[in-house]
Amino acid sequence: MLSIMLVAIATVAQPPARVRQQANKEADKNANTQAPVVNRPSSATTAPKKSATDALTGTSRAALEFPTQGAMPEDVAWRRDVYKVLDLASDRNAVLYFPEEPQGDKMNLFTYLFKLVMRKDIKAYEYTIDGNENLTAKNVMQPKEMLTRFEINFETNAEGKIRVDNSDIPSAQVKSYYIKESTYYDQNTAQFHTQVTALCPVRKGIDEFGEEEAPTPLFWLDYAEISPYLAKVVLMNSNYNNAAQISADDYFTTNQYDGKIYKTVNLQGRVLQNYCETDSALKAEQTRIEKEITTLQDHVWGKDSSAVQGDTVDVVIVEEGKTKKASKKGKDDKESELNSSRAQLKRERTTGSAKSSSSQPKFSARRQRH
């Protein structure tokens, strides 16, 4: 009886603190069962979701739209860098010069590149005194600085934007280009490639006395950066078929230009005119450098193996499944033996003796390199 009475007293006489705690738990439980309220930002403060293409620069976007050839690998086994001048008076290079001034949507190469530089779609790099391209961020020229240096008329509006009229663009005065050309052997694909890596327009104006001024290189352009834009430019590719067209990028990629070497990458940093005193010596030196490049390619591919010192050409005669290697003879003897084998095959095919007699020895000849 005593135990029952104590339990009843504890149940009825709860302290006030216990009562308040129980009430708070019930209130929290009821609040959690209600629908949650979500704070949604208003349409004015909602930021639009950016796609992956919005984060790309102009050059990256152009490269996706107009893919070009890949860059030269850094681990090539052999490479030769030369600088060439493209004279736009040449028939093969004139496609880069005309029209001298824009005609509707048609413009020459310099006008197109100049507009890209002014819009900051591509970068113009300063032409330094050594003549080498320095394609680094510290060497980038600003549009206004470039216009002031080369005395090109321009206007600035109230917003600070620069505008250059088409008639003030010196496109008619750019009569040549400097290019840097790299010929390299890619051991990964076992192929030779010749690739333009940099481009520089050269201006040749008229002074106040009507005389032509000395050529003035304007700025260097990184070809890898401008090639996606050059893929959009359509050039007329023939004087005889005006419907034949080619993109400016294909024009440079397939090496359809006519360039003369004026400098090579060498230890002394010399240009050809530093040690070629006459025009004939300059032309002979240009021919020698070009011959060095083509000779190496011919040696690798075996196109002119007899001209390479230390290379031998042997005639191999196959007779009844047995291989006999001709003894080392002079070049005339080897050619005579090869011609004799060919003549024997021709006689057999004409008379049909090779088909009628299986015991007749069969001959074939092939060239081998060692």
Say what the pLDDT of residue 257 is. Answer: 96
Q: Do 184 and 76 touch, CB atoms closer than 8 A? A: yes
Q: Do 335 and 329 touch, CB atoms closer than 8 A? A: no
- Of 179, 197, 180, 178, the closest CA to residue 73 belongs to 197
Taking the alpha carbons of 162, 215, 273, 259 in that order, is the dihedral positive or negative? positive
Q: Secondary structure of the chain: what % helix, strand, coil (to 5)?
A: 35, 25, 40
Q: Which amino acid is at 174?
A: V
For the chain (370 residues), the mean pLDDT of every run of 10, in chain order, is 68 55 64 45 45 54 62 89 96 93 89 96 95 95 94 91 93 96 91 94 87 92 95 87 90 95 91 93 95 88 50 37 44 58 58 46 41
Name residues whose C-beta falls within 8 Å of residue 245's C-beta, 6 or more positions apart in sequence. Answer: 234, 235, 236, 237
- CA within 13 Å, CB half, 106: 10
Distance CA 111, CA 101 (A): 8
Distance CA 72, CA 184 (A): 8
Asked, as a colleague might, if the bond just before 99 is cis with ω within 30 of 0, I would say yes
Residue 288 CB neighbours (<10 A): 10
Structure token digits, residue 294: 């083509």
Strand pairing class (162-163; 78-87):
unpaired
Distance CA 147, CA 152 (A): 5
Distance CA 177, CA 87 (A): 7
Provide the angle, in degrees to the nearest 10, between the axes of the packed helices 223-230 and 109-118: 110
Taking the alpha carbons of 248, 144, 215, 209 in that order, is the dihedral positive or negative? positive
Distance CA 159, CA 169 (A): 22
Predicted confidence (pLDDT) per residue in 104-115, tens digit: 888 999 999 999
Q: What are phi and psi of 115, to 5 degrees?
A: -65, -35
Say what the pLDDT of residue 354 is. Answer: 42
Q: For the chain, what's the residue count? A: 370
Predicted confidence (pLDDT) per residue in 315-353, tens digit: 333 344 444 444 444 555 555 665 665 666 556 555 554
Radius of gyration of the chain (CA): 39
Greatest distance between any 2 Cα atoms in the chain: 139
pTM, to two decimals: 0.67
Distance CA 332, CA 342 (A): 15
Structure token digits, residue 236: 């007329």
- Of 361, 335, 368, the closest CA to residue 347 belongs to 361
Q: Do 266 and 81 touch, CB atoms closer than 8 A? A: no
Say what the pLDDT of residue 42 is. Answer: 42
Say what the pLDDT of residue 347 is. Answer: 61
Q: What are phi and psi of 290, to 5 degrees?
A: -65, -35
Residue 315 CB neighbours (<10 A): 21
